[in-house]
Amino acid sequence: MTPSLIDRWSRGWRGPLLAALIALAAALPGALALPVTDRDEARLAEASAQMLETGDFTAIAVDDQASDRRPAGVHWLQAAAVAITSNAEARHIWAYRLPALAGAMLAAAACAWGGAALFGAAAGLLAGGLFGASLLLSTAGAVDAPAALLCAGVTLAVSALGRLYLAANGGPTAGRRIKIALWAGIALAAMAGGPVGPAAVVLTGAGLWLVDRKAPWLRSLGWGWGLILLAAVVGPSVVAGAVNGVDGSAPSWPAFGGSGERTPGFHLLIAPMMLFPFTLLLPAALTLAWRARRETAVKLALCWLIPSWLVLEFGRGQPLGGGLIVYGALAWLCAAALTRGPGLMSLRVGAALQLAAGTLWLVLVLYAGLRFGGGAAVAWCVFAALLLALAPFLASAGMQTGKPWRAVTVGGLLGLVAHGAVLAGAAPRLQPLWAAQRAVAALTKAGLDPRAGVTPGPVAVIGYGEPSLTFALGGLTEALTPDEAPEAIQEGRPAIVEERQEAAFLRALQTTNRRARKVGEVDGFDYANNSDIRLMLYAASR
């Protein structure tokens, strides 16, 4: 793709639309092909399904246990998507992923929209395309609705804030529609992640205030009606999340820095892999950020990037997807550096960084195929590995020969195909990773799936607590101890017993004079716990 072609496609609404389509192409294969993943996605989807089944849209729960006490907005969006395109009983996970897909598309479009105002239309399209095709956002767009929607809200809000900031500094005028976009972005971010998203926007504004030592433009953001709009949109979701319809306990808000141990430097270390296949532009982006730090547009990008990044690094361990709230700023700087012409040293360092990131992904993909896959999975992994090896090589060669636009286009296309091959081709065939789905298939084959209406439910589950099993069985599961399981067997219900609980389960059967027969077993790998597992399937003796 040449600069003239980029200019033609980036004008007006075409730039954001094309960026959104790139994000769609990157995330859709995984959204359609991947089985439901543990744990957060499965728990989120099951809670949304139970909302539809019970009609109680304040209860964020899996079975009778509270799932979380975050705002209920993401659940409502999932429930609406399922009600329109599918039904709760079918448990089609692709329907629950539609809000994540929409979030990734909106994030890419907003990045292009904001980048066009700051750095020009061509740079805006490039930024949106880079962001939409990046590995982290495209993966979130497939399986992580809260992260994708949080990212979309923050990117939209900061892009609108940037346009208002430019208008106050001699740029194009920004009217009420820009202010509505600002408050709509904040509301979306708050619905998806609580205070995390609004805090990132506030930190951006505070950074600009600190750097300029004045911020008169802050007074004209539409605070009165904006806060009313925010309360109207977010208020019901927050109240529902607080009440939670289960135990009425107080909300447990997700902290900006996440939870768990502090891991300073983690997001910095992982950024080259998460921005792949455009890692080669990172050194040029950092060089531009330093040299042009006093420019209005670059200053805004840095005030978005630096404060939130520091909080991510030095707060408590933020989930990987949390880094998306600042990746839009990186995309802006990468695109601006490319349109202005990156220096030779930046290109060489970027080429080395791209090769290193590509090599790491190649090793991980091949390891997954050999460790967990059979013939078809290994073939897909080899195909993806070849693309992952070729993408940085061709992109780096293009950079070295003075054709950065071609390098980015070729590297991006190969990276997109490789990502699709991994998520849609290889990953679903890594059978040990999908133990829950295989256990349900084994129950169905044995005629023991309670959804068929022949065997009573719910299925007793002993020692295996992954929510993907509950989702796959349509919510018809009940977690029991080994001592409680004989009663379920007596009622004619099937049981799924984790191997380490099997001996206790059999002793309980013997003690209570119950009889059961083993109808199958499933070997797998519980990636949520990083351990091998074996599930035993039992039914009442005839």
Name the residue among 357, 304, 310 with its Cα closest to residue 327. Answer: 304
- Please provide residue 526's backbone torsions phi and psi, each rounded to the nearest 5 degrees: -85, 95
Helix (H, G, I), strand (E, B) or coil at 439: helix
Q: Which residues pair with 536 in a beta bridge?
A: 497, 521
Question: 58 is written with which tokens?
Answer: 């304040």
Q: What's the longest Cα–Cα distance across the chain? A: 84
Residue 459 pairs in a beta bridge with: 477
**Predicted pLDDT at 251:** 41
The closest alpha carbon to 36, from 51, 25, 47, 26, belongs to 47
Alpha helices by DSSP H, listed for 373-498, are: 375-400, 404-420, 435-445, 467-472, 485-490
pLDDT at 248: 43
C-alpha distances (whole Å) from 404 to each of 2, 271, 339 are 10, 21, 9
Q: Residue 505 has which token pair?
A: 């389960």
Q: Are 370 and 314 in contact (CB under 8 A)?
A: no
Separation between Cα atoms, residue 243 and residue 455, nearest integer Å: 36
For the four alpha carbons of 260, 188, 309 and 135, in that order, the dihedral sign comes to positive
Q: Copy the structure tokens of residue 134.
A: 């990046």
pLDDT for position 262:
58
Distant-in-sequence, close-in-space partners of 432: CB < 8 Å, separation ≥ 6: 372, 523, 524, 525
Report the run of H or E that residue 41 belongs to, with start and end.
helix 40-54
| Overall size of the chain counted in residues | 542
Q: Which among 89, 98, 84, 107 is positioned nearest to 156, based on CA atoms?
A: 107
Which residues face 523 on adjacent strands? 534
Full-model pTM: 0.91
- CA–CA–CA angle 254, 276, 207 (5° rounding): 50
Question: How far is Cα 196 from Cα 149, in angstroms, rounded to an integer?
Answer: 12
Burial of 21 (0-12, 13-18, 19+ CB in 10 A): middle
Residue 249, CA atoms < 13 Å, CB-side half-sphere = 11
For domain 433-540, give the fold: D-Maltodextrin-Binding Protein; domain 2 (3.40.190)
CB atoms within 10 A of CB 404: 23
Please list the rounded mean pLDDT of every run of 10 residues in the chain (542 residues): 64 89 94 93 92 81 57 88 90 95 97 94 91 92 94 96 90 87 94 88 94 88 89 76 49 46 77 86 93 93 94 72 87 92 83 86 91 88 86 67 69 84 92 94 92 89 92 92 93 94 94 91 92 94 76
Write down the residue that tokens 């290889």 correspond to: 426
- The domain limits of the chain are 3-256, 433-540
